[in-house]
Every structure is written in C-alpha cells, then in structure tokens.
C-alpha cells in the first residue's frame, strides 16, 4: 500500500461504522464519508445486487490507496426473513380480541387469515406463544396450532399488510442463520475480499460454529445479537466469535424496550472481557434520515455507547438511504470526541475494566497502558502478525492511540474496527531494535507522536508467534 508522508488519523478512540446504500454509493460520497470520520464501511447484503457491493468495495479500496490508511469493510448477511404472505384486497383492519389464522396456504389473505410460509414457526410455537408482526405493531397470541396452522387472537394492533415481518420472541426456531441466499452472498463477499462478515439471526453457539466453518479464516466473523435466545448463550457466542454487534432494532422488538439498555451494557461488558471488538448499532441517529440534526436523546444514546467503552458505533439507514449521510457521520464524530474529552470518561471506562488473565501477554499489555499513562506517552505501538497483540492492547482501553504495525494487510484492515487502533501496513522487521526504530519513525510520520515525546512499544519475540507478547520498551521520538 502506498504510504503518504502525512496520513489522516482520528482525534478519537471510538470507531464509526457507516452503512453504504443508494445515498452513499458513489466514489465521491464514499471518499467524503471517510474524510468525515467513517473508519469501517458496512455492505448490507439485505439490499442491492452483489455487483453493487463489489463496486462499492472497489471505491473503498481506492480511498484506502489514496489515504495510505487501511480501511475495514464488513459484509452484513441478511439471514432468514420471516414474513406473512399477501392480501387479496390490500391491507386489512384488525380489532382487539378477534381471531386471526396463520397457515401454509399460499392463497392471498383477508381479514380472517393470511399465509405464513414458514413451517418451522408452527413447529416451534406453543399455546400462549406471542407472535409479533410488522416490528411489533401487531401482537398475536396463539390459541391453538398444528403442523400447518396457528389460530391466534389479536392482542394489539389495527392493521396488517403484505409481506410484513414476523418475530417469535420466546422460541428457538429450527433454522440455520444462513439461508441459500446468505451462503451465496457469503461466497461472493469472501471472493471480493471483505474483512469482516456479520452473521444475522444468531440463536445458538452452533450457528456461529457453522459460519466459521464456511468462512475458514478468510475473514473475521462478527455475531449480531438480535434474538433473546442468543443472550442465554452470550458467553459461548462471544467466545466463538471474532466480534459482536448489539443489534438493538430486533432486540427492541423481541424484548421489552426497558430491557434493552441493560442488555446493551451486559453485551459490551462481556465482549470487553473477552477482548473482542463490539459495535453498538441501530437507530442511533435515526431522525437524521430526514433531518440535518439529531434529537438530543439520540446524541445522548451515542454518548452512552461511548461511555460504555464500545469499540464502535454504527450508522445504518442514516448513511445508506438518508438525506444527510455526511452530516450523520460528522455529528457522530463530534459526539465521540466530546465524550472522550470528558474528565469522567476515563473514570467510567476504567471502572468497567476487565480482570487480567494470568498470562505474560496480559501482564505486558496492562503494564503498557499504565506506563503510557504514568509517563504521558503519546501512543502505544504494537507489532503484530495475527492482530492478537493489538487486540489485547485495545482490551485495556488506554488513554492514547494504539498504533498497530503489521506486515499483513488483512490484519491491518481487520484491527481497524477495534478501539483506539491506528493500523499501519508496513514491511516486516527482523530484530527488536529495527522494530523500535520503525515504530518511532512511523508514529511521528502519522502525526501520533511529536518530536521529543515518548511511545510505549510492545511485541512478541520471536516475531510471527501469535499471542506471544513478551517485551515492553519505552522509546523517544526524534524529529
């Protein structure tokens, strides 16, 4: 990758994920989003053609080449979409207490019934199961059911229309999170070279294991937590995943809204303990789809995720289809910067600091954070092949940027998602002295350590051994 003498770096440690779509698909807009503060670009395979995503990825790689900065690209798979069928005469009106039938009949529906072409739902439900239609706008309670039908009573909601989504909050459905479409999209995404794959509809640890087998190390795997059943297996899912997304949209449909904030904190804490990057997503600045400024509640929501110590915050429709994509990234950037300058921010993040594991790598990494704070170092430099040294540094949530030096471009792109990491793709080194010399020069060149400042350097010797962080060095930066 071409390296520029002066390279763009962010003045914040929390990362921003921007979703691309019709409002943000041109090379000019992608470049503008990156310059406004987007660190990671999400390709949402729920929408658009595969060729559209490939074109956007090419534009991202052009920005990467121009800037000299590794840029992270995530492919978000759609997952199974459970929907009712169609109605013969358009939307129907419902009344509370009326009976309404769901069945496998493909005949267009009416005010008394509609098709639900998902036999797995009928196999999973029981008497009393609640079915939510259209993001919970319609609430149906199952009275009785068979292998091909469910008789329900309308508990809430007045209208239902074609192809609205169905959620089954309190049931584990016998479904793989990877539909035939997802498997084809996954194959394509890996072919074009994405860095992360986000897996939707995760219910069990087995779902993550299945995806890992298919990915086979060609990208990092991020599990989206949007089903209540996934929360019951949180620790195992985090362990099997490379990263986690708190997908609050579906969580907010399937669980009581009052439960979502505490769940968000629980998930972020669990991911931080494991040293896995965690993204807080969905409806963060939703009003900016049609407004140039967010509500104050939305600004507070973004700030809360930053105070929680999330690695990244994400924009969805705001940048994919909204009228103000640049403004949305800009305000999210400003909120994150403002929070990180708050004197209470460090206290709050430190209070949730995970316990160390009894390993040399954790001892060295924790010491690097403490040394950097004590001597007011300008940055922490990690030298990594697999990314593990850099990820352990990010787990510590230091006060200063983490420079991730690596000769592996794929690693550089993947760790860009992590808290505080400024990844630099550079040539390999053969001795520790050579590495320290390179670290001081690159820290200065990238504007992350002025002349006369100090940096803290960590690495694993011998080089190329994943997870073998065993050396710490303080180095002066010359002009």
With cut-offs at 50, 70 and 90, classify the pLDDT of residue 7.
low
Alpha carbon distances (Å) from 117 to 106, 136, 387: 8, 19, 44
For the chain, the residue count is 479
Q: Considering 224, 392, 397, 454, which one is annotated as catalytic?
A: 224
SS3 category, 72: strand
Q: Which residues contact 197 (CB under 8 A, 6 or more apart)?
A: 74, 75, 77, 186, 189, 190, 211, 215, 219, 220, 221, 222
SS3 category, 437: helix
Give the CA count within 13 Å in the CB-facing half-sphere of 149. 11
Residue 363: phi, psi to the nearest 5? Answer: -60, -45
What is the C-alpha end-to-end distance of the chain, expressed in Å? 24
| Separation between Cα atoms, residue 294 and residue 289, nearest integer Å | 9
| Separation between Cα atoms, residue 272 and residue 280, nearest integer Å | 13
Catalytic, 42? Answer yes
With cut-offs at 50, 70 and 90, classify the pLDDT of residue 147.
very high
Contact predicate 262/244, CB 8 Å: no
Q: Considering 14, 15, 19, 42, which one is annotated as catalytic?
A: 42
| Separation between Cα atoms, residue 188 and residue 54, nearest integer Å | 9
Q: Considering 14, 19, 282, 319, which one is annotated as catalytic?
A: 282
Strands (DSSP E) contained in 40-189 are 40-44, 72-76, 92-93, 99-103, 113-115, 130-133, 138-146, 149-156, 159-160, 166-167
For CA atoms 356, 458, 278, 306, give the dihedral sign: positive
**pLDDT for residue 468 is more than 90:** no
DSSP class of 476: E
With cut-offs at 50, 70 and 90, classify the pLDDT of residue 2.
very low
| Separation between Cα atoms, residue 466 and residue 99, nearest integer Å | 60
Strands (DSSP E) contained in 52-112 are 72-76, 92-93, 99-103
With cut-offs at 50, 70 and 90, classify the pLDDT of residue 251.
confident
Closest CA to 424 of 400, 450, 404, 449: 404
**pLDDT for residue 6 is more than 80:** no
Find residue 182's DSSP bridge partners: none
Q: Chain centroid to CA 103: how far?
A: 36
For CA atoms 235, 237, 238, 244, give the dihedral sign: negative
Contact predicate 370/377, CB 8 Å: no
Model pLDDT, residue 365: 92
Model pLDDT, residue 3: 44
CA-based radius of gyration for the chain: 24
Alpha carbon distances (Å) from 253 to 60, 227, 277, 284: 33, 9, 24, 16
Contact predicate 98/156, CB 8 Å: no
Catalytic, 83? Answer yes
Alpha carbon distances (Å) from 217 to 189, 269, 313, 411: 13, 26, 25, 12
Longest dimension (CA), the chain: 78
Contact predicate 278/310, CB 8 Å: yes
Contact predicate 406/464, CB 8 Å: no
The 10s digit of each residue's pLDDT in 408-444 is: 999 999 999 999 999 999 998 888 889 999 999 999 9
* Whole-number percent of the chain with pLDDT over 70: 97
**CA-based angle 406:308:246, to the nearest 5?**
80
Model pLDDT, residue 4: 47
Catalytic, 187? Answer no
Looking at every residue in the chain, the average pLDDT score rounds to 94
Model pLDDT, residue 467: 64
Higher pLDDT, 423 or 465: 423
Q: Considering 83, 141, 338, 441, which one is annotated as catalytic?
A: 83
| Separation between Cα atoms, residue 147 and residue 330, nearest integer Å | 51
| Separation between Cα atoms, residue 165 and residue 80, nearest integer Å | 11
Its pTM stands at 0.94
Model pLDDT, residue 459: 86
Please report the domains of the chain, with CATH numbers, ordered by start residue. 15-79+176-343 (3.20.20.60), 92-167 (2.40.33.10), 360-476 (3.40.1380.20)
Find residue 379's DSSP bridge partners: 455
Model pLDDT, residue 49: 97
With cut-offs at 50, 70 and 90, classify the pLDDT of residue 252.
confident
Average pLDDT of the residues in 132-149: 96
DSSP class of 178: -
With cut-offs at 50, 70 and 90, classify the pLDDT of residue 463.
confident
The 10s digit of each residue's pLDDT in 55-68 is: 999 999 999 999 99
| Separation between Cα atoms, residue 405 and residue 3, nearest integer Å | 13
| Separation between Cα atoms, residue 254 and residue 282, nearest integer Å | 14
The 10s digit of each residue's pLDDT in 295-318 is: 999 999 999 999 999 999 999 999
**pLDDT for residue 180 is more than 70:** yes
Average pLDDT of the residues in 250-265: 91
């Amino acid at each position: 990758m071409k390296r520029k003498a002066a390279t763009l770096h962010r003045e914040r440690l929390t990362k921003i994920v921007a979703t691309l779509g019709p409002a943000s698909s041109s090379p000019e807009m992608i470049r503008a989003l990156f310059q406004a503060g987007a660190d990671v670009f999400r390709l949402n395979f729920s929408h658009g053609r595969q060729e559209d995503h490939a074109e956007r990825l090419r534009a991202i790689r052009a920005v990467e080449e121009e800037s000299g900065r590794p840029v992270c690209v995530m492919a978000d798979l759609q997952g199974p979409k459970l929907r009712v069928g169609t109605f013969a005469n358009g939307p129907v009106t419902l009344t509370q207490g009326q009976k309404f039938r769901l069945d496998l009949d493909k005949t267009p529906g009416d005010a008394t019934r509609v098709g639900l072409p998902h036999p797995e739902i009928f196999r999973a439900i029981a008497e009393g199961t609640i079915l939510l239609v259209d993001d919970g706008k319609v609430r149906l309670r199952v009275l009785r059911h068979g292998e091909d039908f469910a008789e329900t009573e309308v508990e809430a909601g007045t209208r239902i229309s074609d192809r609205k989504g169905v959620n089954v909050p309190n049931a584990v459905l016998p479904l793989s999170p990877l539909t035939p479409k997802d498997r084809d999209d996954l194959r394509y995404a890996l072919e074009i070279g994405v860095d992360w794959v986000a897996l939707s509809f995760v219910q069990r640890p087995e779902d993550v294991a299945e995806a890992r087998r298919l990915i086979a190390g060609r990208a990092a795997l991020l599990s989206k937590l949007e089903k209540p059943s996934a929360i019951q297996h949180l620790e195992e899912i985090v362990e099997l995943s490379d990263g986690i997304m708190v997908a609050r949209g579906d969580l907010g449909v399937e669980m009581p809204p009052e439960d979502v904030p505490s769940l968000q904190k629980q998930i972020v804490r669990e991911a931080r303990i494991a040293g896995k990057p965690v993204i807080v997503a969905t409806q963060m600045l939703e009003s900016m789809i049609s407004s140039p400024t967010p509500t104050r509640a939305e600004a507070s929501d973004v700030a809360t995720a930053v105070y929680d110590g999330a690695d990244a915050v994400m924009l969805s429709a705001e940048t994919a289809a909204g009228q103000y994509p640049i403004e949305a990234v800009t305000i999210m950037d400003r909120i994150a910067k403002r929070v990180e300058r708050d004197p209470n921010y460090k206290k709050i993040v430190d209070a949730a600091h995970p316990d160390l594991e009894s390993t040399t790598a954790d001892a060295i990494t924790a010491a690097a954070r403490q040394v950097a704070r004590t001597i007011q170092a300008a940055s922490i430099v990690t030298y990594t092949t697999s990314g593990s040294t850099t990820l352990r540094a990010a787990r510590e949530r230091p006060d200063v940027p983490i420079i991730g030096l690596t000769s592996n471009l794929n690693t550089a792109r993947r760790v860009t998602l992590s808290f505080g990491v400024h990844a630099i793709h550079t040539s390999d080194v053969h001795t520790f002295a050579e590495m320290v010399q390179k670290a001081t020069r690159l820290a200065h060149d990238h504007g992350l350590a002025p002349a006369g400042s100090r940096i803290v350097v960590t690495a694993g010797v011998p080089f190329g051994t994943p997870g073998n962080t065993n050396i710490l060095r303080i180095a002066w930066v010359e002009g």
